[in-house]
Amino acid sequence: MPQKAVASNAPSRMKTVPIAQWRLTAEGAVQKSLDSGHSWQNALVSRDVAFRSLCSIKQEVWVGANAGALFHSVDSGQTWNQIQPAAANQKLTSDIVHIEFSDPAHGLISTSNGEVWSTSDGGQSWRRK
């Protein structure tokens, strides 16, 4: 005998959190969309900084700019921390033109003068290649 499906009005225990999409404007502003790119809001990362590169993986977002300015958010842009990559007492001071993370721990930064910096611990330590 077939069974009837019973509709339930009980609230769902699973809360879906939209995955943010990120982009940079031509002026270097960081923008976030929570509706699949239909609308965009500016994300306040740092005043008076024009960003040149961006990478996001799930809730983690990295943005880079001139003179080694690098910012990281672990909470989808709610808060931002400035990161100063350094290795062997040398700080990254070149313009960041590309950021690439394969997962939240492993990433590469490329600079305008051809330097490549890598991290394997989410930006806690860096190595210049």
pLDDT, one tens digit per residue, over 60-110 is 999 999 999 999 999 999 999 999 999 988 999 999 999 999 999 999 999
What percent of the chain stands above pLDDT 90? 79
What percent of the chain stands above pLDDT 70? 86
Please tell me the predicted confidence (pLDDT) of residue 129.
87
Mean of the per-residue pLDDT values for the chain? Answer: 89
This prediction's pTM? 0.84
What amino acid occupies position 71?
A: F
Please tell me the predicted confidence (pLDDT) of residue 30.
97
Provide the residue ranges of all domains of the chain, joining segments of one domain with +. Answer: 21-128
Print burial letters for 93-111: b (CB count within 10 Å at least 16), e (below 16). Answer: ebbbbebebeeeeebebbb
Domain 21-128, classified CATH 3.40.50.1110, yes or no: no
Please tell me the predicted confidence (pLDDT) of residue 47.
87
What is the number of other CB atoms lying within 10 angstroms of the CB of residue 57?
14
Tokens representing 1 are: 């005998």
Q: Strand 127-128's sheet: what is its strand order?
A: 96-101, 107-111, 116-119, 127-128
